[in-house]
Every structure is written in structure tokens, then in C-alpha cells.
């Protein structure tokens, strides 16, 4: 990745992503309003409920949308020149759609050819990116047959295959199982250590807490808070996070969960095909879950952080200033 960073440095001295008084309206509907943000290299987490403006912010940073007012620049480049911008930027969107009929490898490789890479180089970079996201074995399969987590990872591979200096990831952990989730978080950290901008969005505050150096909280199109993660983390400790796990033996999982420090509740859901766990230490819980899966041979269908308590943290953090403008 250092090649990309060198490239970015050569492109200009500005290494920031800057939103300068940016607003975006969809007709009369507010996307984001009067956002002033400066993002430095490292991992930044964008967090907010669905509809808070996270995707709008990403789309503005990549020129998929044009601001109704204000200006966005990425490493000193305007977003209206994709031919320059996307040499330095990779964006894994949340749109869960793909060009029809393509294999994972074909998907990544064909878009590298659009960058102008010759066939052999495109193939090499595609293989490398696919390996980094752990999809090498399934690269030859049609994307249409991928699970949600695999589709998520192939989008990530496409975004990072050309070694960008800025990586924008919209809800990148959605649909990933705990093991892959932790691998991806490791990958994001690795990329940030190499000097990249990694901007990650999530509506799950705890996820952002795990990943980010700093956090930007959005609500109703406004930036309501931004800063180091520590302040948010201490607040998190007082609000247990709920995680829904659907698996073949939820009773056994519930019993094991109770042995874990930090778990304050574990109850079977109504259809008895899952268990809802409330924990003050989600990190440890995820590690424990991996252990249980291996030791007990559990088949896990989904692992889903449940919003309820995250919303209460939002209410606490956001409600103080009424969800209004920053």
C-alpha cells in the first residue's frame, strides 16, 4: 500500500479529506446539512442511525453525488474529476448489487482493466486483493451465488485492489460472521498503519468503537459529535450491547454465554432458534463465540448486533443537544 501513499503524497501536500460547509438535499429532503469536517489519515468511524446521512457523506466524497452547497476535497482533489480521484480512492458502497453474470475474480479484474492496467497486471492485483479478503477459494464462482458476507468482501476487494490511499467503507461489517469480522477489522487496522485513510461507517456504535481512532456521530443529516473514541467508549461501558445469534443449539450457547464475564443477559428468542445476549464486553464475547463454535461444533446462521441499546446511547449522546446542528 505504501506505493499508493507515495502516489498520494506526490499528488499534493494535502493529505486530508475536507467537507467545507457541505449540504445535500434530495429535492426537499435533507441528506446532510452544513457539514464541516476534516479527516486525517488513520481510521475514522462514521456512526449514526439509518438515514442519518452516512452514505450521503461517502457519496459526496466520491462524486457519486454533487453537493447542493459547499465543497468536498479528497487529498486536495475536487470530486468532479473521477479520472484523478479514483487513482487515490477506493469505495466499497452499501449497494448490494453487481453487474450480472460475473465471477468474483472477473468482477475485480474487469474493473482494474478500466483503470488502464494491462491484463496480466489486472489479474495479479485482483488475485492479491481477493486473497487479502479471504475469498481466493471462491473467486471463480459467480457473485450471484455468494452469501451476503462474501458479497461484502468482494466489494471490499474491488475497492482496495488498485492500492488506493483512501479507503471508504460503507457498513463493511454487515453480514460477516464473527471470525471474518475480526479478520476484516485486523485488515483495516493494518491498512491504517500503512498510512491510509480508512473511513468506516456503521449504525452500530460498538463496531466503530472496535475499529476507529476517532469517531464522527451523525444524526438527521447533522454532525452532532466528533472526536477521539475514548469518550464514547466510557459511555458504552454503561450500556450493554445486545447481540442476536441464530444457531442450531441456542440453549447450549446461552449456557456457555453465562459463564462469560460481562454477559448480563442471555435468553432464547421466541422461535427457540436463537439466543439474545446482552454484554458489556462485546470484544470478549465475540472471542468466546468463536471458541464455542469450534469446541461445540455449533452451526451459526447469523450474528446480528441489535440496535435497541445502541439507540439508547444515541439518545444519550445526541439527545443532549436535541439532535440539532453541530
Partner 1 sequence: MSAVTDSGSPGRWRLWVRQGLAVARLEIGRNFFGLRALGLYLLALAPLGIILLLAWGRILGLFGAPETPPPAGDLAREYGAFFAGLQSRLVIFFVSLLVFTRLFRAEVQQRSLHYYFLTPVRREVLVAGKFTAGLVAAGLILGTTTVLTFLGHFLPLTRAAGSTDYATFLSRGGGLGQLAGYLGVTLLGVLGYGAVFLAAGLFFRNPILPALAVFGWEWANFLLPPLLKRISVIHYLQALQPVPPPEGMLALLADPPDPWLAVPGIVAMSAVFLVLSALRLRRAEIVYGEE
Kindly list the residues in this chain that would bind partner 1 in the complex (CB under 8 A).
3, 26, 31, 50-51, 53, 55-56, 59, 62-66, 82-87, 90-91, 93, 95, 97-102, 110-111, 113-118, 121, 125, 158-159, 163
CB of 95 to partner 1, least distance (A): 5
Contacts 24+ apart (CB under 8 A), 291-299: 292/252, 292/253, 292/256, 293/178, 293/179, 296/249, 296/252, 296/253, 296/256, 298/247, 298/248, 298/249, 298/252, 298/253, 299/247, 299/248
Q: For partner 1, give the closer residue by CB, 132 or 242.
A: 132
Q: For partner 1, give the closer residue by CB, 85 or 293.
A: 85
CB of 97 to partner 1, least distance (A): 4
Q: For partner 1, give the closer residue by CB, 217 or 289.
A: 217
Q: Exposed (0-12), middle (13-18) or buried (19+): which is 199, by Cβ within 10 Å? A: buried
CB of 154 to partner 1, least distance (A): 12
Neighbours of 297 (CB within 10 A): 9
**Measured CA distances, 90 to 87, 121, 170, 175 (Å):** 8, 18, 11, 20
Q: For partner 1, give the closer residue by CB, 32 or 292.
A: 32
CB of 5 to partner 1, least distance (A): 13
CB of 57 to partner 1, least distance (A): 11
Q: For partner 1, give the closer residue by CB, 67 or 178.
A: 67
CB of 324 to partner 1, least distance (A): 19
How far is it, in rounded angstroms, from Cα 245 to Cα 267? Answer: 11
What is the chain's Cα-based Rg?
Answer: 20
Q: For partner 1, give the closer residue by CB, 65 or 245.
A: 65
Neighbours of 50 (CB within 10 A): 9
Amino acid at each position: 500500500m505504501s506505493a499508493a501513499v507515495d502516489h498520494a503524497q506526490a499528488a499534493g501536500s494535502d493529505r486530508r479529506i475536507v467537507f467545507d460547509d457541505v449540504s445535500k438535499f434530495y429535492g426537499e429532503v435533507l441528506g446532510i446539512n452544513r457539514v464541516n469536517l476534516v479527516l486525517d489519515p488513520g481510521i475514522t468511524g462514521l456512526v449514526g442511525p439509518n438515514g442519518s446521512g452516512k452514505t450521503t457523506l461517502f457519496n459526496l466524497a466520491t462524486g457519486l453525488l454533487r453537493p447542493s452547497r459547499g465543497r468536498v476535497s479528497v487529498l486536495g482533489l475536487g470530486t468532479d474529476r473521477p479520472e484523478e480521484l479514483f487513482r487515490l480512492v477506493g469505495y466499497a458502497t452499501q449497494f448490494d448489487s453487481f453487474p450480472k453474470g460475473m465471477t468474483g475474480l472477473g468482477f475485480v479484474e474487469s474493473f482494474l482493466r478500466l483503470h488502464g492496467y494491462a491484463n496480466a497486471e489486472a489479474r495479479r492485483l485482483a488475485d492479491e486483493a481477493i486473497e487479502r479478503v479471504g475469498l481466493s477459494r471462491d473467486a471463480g464462482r459467480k457473485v450471484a451465488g455468494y452469501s451476503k458476507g462474501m458479497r461484502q468482501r468482494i466489494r471490499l476487494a474491488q475497492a482496495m485492489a488498485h492500492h488506493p490511499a483512501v479507503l471508504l467503507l460503507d457498513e463493511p461489517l454487515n453480514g460477516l460472521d464473527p471470525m471474518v469480522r475480526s479478520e476484516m477489522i485486523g485488515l483495516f487496522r493494518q491498512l491504517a498503519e500503512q498510512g491510509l485513510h480508512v473511513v468506516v461507517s456503521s449504525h452500530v456504535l460498538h463496531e466503530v468503537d472496535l475499529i476507529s481512532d476517532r469517531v464522527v456521530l451523525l444524526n438527521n443529516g447533522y454532525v452532532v459529535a466528533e472526536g477521539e473514541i475514548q469518550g464514547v467508549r466510557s459511555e458504552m461501558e454503561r450500556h450493554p450491547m445486545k447481540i442476536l445469534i441464530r444457531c442450531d443449539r441456542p440453549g447450549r450457547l446461552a449456557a456457555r454465554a453465562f459463564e462469560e464475564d460481562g454477559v448480563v443477559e442471555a435468553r432464547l428468542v421466541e422461535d427457540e432458534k436463537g439466543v439474545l445476549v446482552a454484554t458489556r464486553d462485546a470484544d470478549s464475547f465475540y472471542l468466546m463465540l468463536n471458541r464455542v463454535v469450534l469446541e461445540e461444533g455449533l452451526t451459526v446462521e447469523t450474528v446480528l448486533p441489535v440496535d435497541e441499546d445502541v439507540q439508547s446511547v444515541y439518545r444519550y449522546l445526541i439527545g443532549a443537544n436535541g439532535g440539532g446542528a453541530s
